Amino acid sequence: MYFLRVLPLFLITTICVTAQRNPLVVKDSLAQKSWVDSKYNSMSLEEKLGQLFMVSVASDQSKSNTDKINALIKSENIGGVIFSTGGPVRQAKLTNSYQKASNIPLLIGMDAEWGLSMRLDSTYAFPYNMTLGAISDNKIVEKVGKQIGKHAKRLGVHINFAPDVDININPKNPIIGSRSFGEDRENVTEKGIAFVKGMEGAGVLSSGKHFPGHGDTATDSHKSLPVIDFPKSRLDSIELYPYKKIIDAGVSSIMVAHLEVPALELKKGLPSSLSEQIISGVLKEEMGFKGLVFTDALNMKGVADTGKNGDVEVKAFLAGNDMLLMPTEVTKAKEKLVKAYKKGKISEERLAYSVKKILMAKYKVGLHKYRPIKLSNLIQDLNSREDDLIYEEAIENAITVVKNDYYLMGIKKLENKKIAYVKFGDSESSPFINELNKYTKVTQVNGKDIFTLNGKLNDYNLIIVGLHKNNDSPWKSYSFSKKEKLWLKEIAKSRTSNVILTLFAKPYALLGIDSFKNIDGVVVAHQNSKLAQEKAAQLIFGAIPSKGVLPVSAHKEFPVNKSIRLKPLLRLGYSYPERVGFDARKLTQVDKLVNDGLDSLMYPGAQVLIARKGKVIYNKGFGRPTYKSEEKVTPDHIYDLASITKILATVPMVMKMEQEGKIALNDTFSDLVPEYSNTELKNVTVLKALSHYGRLPAWIAFYVSTLNEKRKPSSEFYRNKPLDGFSVKVANNLYLTDAYKDSIYDRIGRQDLKSNRYRYSDVAYYVMKKYIEEKNGKSLDKLADNFLYKRIGANNTSYNPLDKFPVNKIIPSEEDKYYRYQTLQGYVHDMGAAMQGGVGGHAGLFSNANDVAKIMQMYLQNGTYGGVKFLDGRTVKKFNTCYFCDKKVRRGVGFDKPQLKDKGPTCGCVSRKSFGHSGFTGTYTWADPEKEIVYVFLSNRTYPSASNTLLVKSGLRTRIQKAIYDAIVD
């Protein structure tokens, strides 16, 4: 044994040689041995020695540089190439070229710890190790390792020099940091084993590094030689611990670092990568490792300064390394290796030992059946939806809550919150603020100095501070600036507002904060990727749980393994179609159908949202607000919902009052409106009216009687500005007399009941509105806003939206040429609702698809959303029941239900439990409890004229619904 000649007695007595399986041996070992022996026996001495070298190249280098590698392959018969920076297509072409030039296929390596993007453009970046270290479920880490392995294999890379199993105890470590899984030895080991298992499962060789442990140093071995000056007992229990375990788990190779480790190597200043005691002794004999041993890069100053002209490479091989990584002088090193062989310093047995291991590794990765890399679809294959799904799962499980005073997160009682966001850091933050605003209104507040900023923040009772640092690599700056630390302290201490700090950087950034006394919540998102920002926002509002565990000690208040688990609040989250059982490719049919509608001039623009299992997986804007608009429709625009108002405003208020005992389904109109006691309407019940089985007229054209002989608004009823007695705003510069309200209800009372039992009618909702307002002493818009919209976070939902939103956020509904004679933009399209000041029980509500989905999801969840129980489950069920199906009336109480025969309001593919509604302006929403689907379609098909019925006749909205159901694959 090499090391027994030089190890001191006290070390020899601690050695426990264990039998280890060889991780390079494949199942068909006889075939492997035959191939290896055949290749080895056919090689000359120089060819055998050439196999020891793995040289560096970058696909973004000049042709003259890349050609030099080609020359080395031919002249020196090198064993492999390690690729650095560049692009995947360029690298694939070079790999194919190099393999063609080599007599024995080359072993291709890369440093791709968090994926190929560690080195290459146009490739996928997975989470850093420290982010993975925050995940409790090691199966997720295994998935990440396997996906990285798949990418490497697709690009013709056979060995990925990963995982880094250094235990990063020193926060000031300049080269490891986020490349480590953390500081807890068990966690680092478990994550390392999971990563190895995943990557090897994809057919790519793994490599544990940086042996014997680079985690507890503040020195960068690229620049000088770090000293790991700990006793053997400490090294055994910390630095060496993960290696013992990953060797047992089958890691294919170990990379030896350039470190001075006095407890393991007696010679002062000798790097571990050149130490026979450390490599042949500790690694091979003591730990029983039989896989490949690589040096760390031999061009690093930590080792390069110890010899020149090939001396370092010879020393490295003699110490026990198998492959010499990134040598400085291949030709000179090879010459000296030949001399050492001929002088007997290197025996044939020793040479065969390493070269045959290299050949065994090549066989294991399939190089005995080498095929060139296919260039077609390479970029697409390296940036797939599968990557997104794995990344999303990892990030969701990694985000860590370390402080949550007063149970602040997930945020509840939105109606009481006025939230500000303050950005720190020098990197992108828009995904975070945009995602926060999907839940409620969050305002970004800026200030040129802390006094100005604090003055503005006085208007808010919850402040979210985000530190956004560059996400390009783990070596980027991650700390708070001096100014930011001062500002955070002042923001936190100078008010009674709650403060949540969200860290989009490594946890060590928290070490720069003196105290968290006045900071109520702390979230560690670990990275500043788009998805990390979005998921942090979702966590803060309770759409996803918090599962992460702090992988390192980030502050005296936040030790390693700190974790506060938060349960979700049943709020909508945002994800990918595949996450909830959709085939995304099939969902492209939705895009096609909506665009067909645009091309057929069914509407100028539209929004479509699809959610399933509590996740919004599709939310897009199509077309433009009008046919002449330059801007495009976005998910933030709001539409006139028309009759969807019924189930989003009036029906929830009736449901609330019903469970409070303020109204009953068997109450009659005469119970609700005593003036109707002597009319035909007196015995119409709430149940029948809201089920459209009360024989009421479909609608009443109230506005017609207020027009003059020229069919223009009569001066008897209207003024062009608000005056005493004329305060009901119908449209821009058009005000109706206040007295007309009584005329509306008087005219309703004079209606005759129709002969046919089933008739869709708006009239009942005038009556409901009147009763709701009189019983509660407030207008319907205020009641619905206070009961539902504010509390559920539907901040884009409103009657009379011009009172809250800029006009360019509102989609125009029609060019009115029969009543108001103007563009209806922000004024309700429905004439009856307009004559009630824009607040109708049947129409008048404006919203976007995202807000509509929140309310529909609340119904789907039996009245609960965001931790708030808006309605009892029994109430939702009672109103979502078809009471007159035996009378061939499909409707529920307020809700539309699936057709009873062939034709109707749905695609015919939904469950009987499903419910929804449509609107005259071209809107539609439907929810299905069995499939857990919410679907929203909003358009302005009435623009420029309501006479455009192409959307209705085409059945497009339900054809889209059919496409949604056809895309389900689970």
Answer yes or no: is pLDDT of 10 > 70. Answer: no
Sign of CA dihedral 433, 434, 436, 442: positive
How many CB atoms within 10 Å of residue 822?
Answer: 15
Answer yes or no: is pLDDT of 7 > 70. Answer: no
pLDDT band at 906 (very low <50, low <70, confident <90, very high): very high
Q: What single string gives the DSSP state of each residue in 679-702? A: SGGGG-BHHHHHTT-S---S---G
Strand duo 207-211 + 845-847: pairing: unpaired
Is the separation of the CB atoms in 621 and 605 below 8 Å?
A: yes
Q: How far apart are CA 841 and CA 748, in angstroms?
A: 14
Which DSSP state fits 270? Answer: -
Q: What is the pLDDT of residue 3?
A: 37
Rounded average pLDDT over 810-818: 98
Q: How far apart are CA 547 and CA 439, in angstroms?
A: 21
Contacts of 33 (CB under 8 A, 6+ apart): none
Q: What is the pLDDT of residue 642?
A: 98
Answer yes or no: is pLDDT of 2 > 60. Answer: no
Q: What is the pLDDT of residue 1?
A: 37
Write the pLDDT tens digit of every residue in 532-570.
999 999 999 999 999 999 999 999 999 999 999 999 999
Write the pLDDT tens digit of every residue in 491-522.
999 778 999 999 999 999 999 999 999 999 99
Q: What is the pLDDT of residue 304?
A: 63
Contacts of 594 (CB under 8 A, 6+ apart): 606, 608, 620, 622, 956, 960
Portion of the chain with pLDDT greater than 70, in percent:
97
Rounded average pLDDT over 445-474: 95
Is the separation of the CB atoms in 703 and 718 below 8 Å?
A: no
Q: What is the pLDDT of residue 316?
A: 95
Q: What is the pLDDT of residue 342?
A: 96
Q: Which of 79, 613, 133, 127 is nearest to 388 (CA)?
A: 127
Q: Which amino acid is at 389?
A: L
Give the torsion through C-alpha atoms of 195, 196, 202, 207, to 10 deg. 120
Rounded average pLDDT over 850-870: 98
Q: What is the mean pLDDT of the chain?
A: 95
Answer yes or no: is pLDDT of 133 > 50. Answer: yes
Backbone angles phi, psi at 71, to 5 degrees: -65, -40
Distances (CA, A) of 549 to 9, 545, 552, 561: 42, 13, 9, 5
Backbone angles phi, psi at 525, to 5 degrees: -90, -10
Answer yes or no: is pLDDT of 113 > 70. Answer: yes
Answer yes or no: is pLDDT of 608 > 60. Answer: yes
Give the torsion through C-alpha atoms of 240, 246, 250, 252, to 10 deg. -60
* Geometric angle at alpha carbon 398, from 394 and 403, rounded to 5°: 160
Answer yes or no: is pLDDT of 20 > 70. Answer: no
Strand duo 419-425 + 442-444: pairing: parallel
Q: What is the pLDDT of residue 717?
A: 97
Q: What is the pLDDT of residue 308?
A: 77
Q: What is the pLDDT of residue 303?
A: 72
Is the separation of the CB atoms in 129 and 80 below 8 Å?
A: no
3-class DSSP state of 620: strand
Rounded average pLDDT over 280-297: 96
Contacts of 676 (CB under 8 A, 6+ apart): 669, 670, 682, 749, 767
Q: Is 347 exposed, middle or buried (0-12, 13-18, 19+ CB in 10 A)?
A: exposed
Question: What is the enclosing helix (H) or strand (E) of 728?
Answer: strand 728-731
Write the pLDDT tens digit of every residue in 367-413.
999 999 999 999 999 999 999 999 999 999 999 999 999 999 999 99
3-class DSSP state of 636: coil
Strand duo 868-869 + 864-865: pairing: antiparallel
Q: What is the pLDDT of residue 21?
A: 75
Q: What is the pLDDT of residue 246?
A: 97
Q: What is the pLDDT of residue 629?
A: 96
Q: How far apart are CA 375 and CA 408, in angstroms?
A: 51
Distances (CA, A) of 152 to 26, 160, 205, 236: 20, 7, 10, 33
Write the pLDDT tens digit of every residue in 167-210.
999 999 999 999 999 999 999 999 999 999 999 999 999 999 99
Q: What is the pLDDT of residue 302?
A: 65
pLDDT band at 13 (very low <50, low <70, confident <90, very high): very low
3-class DSSP state of 639: strand
Answer yes or no: is pLDDT of 462 > 90. Answer: yes
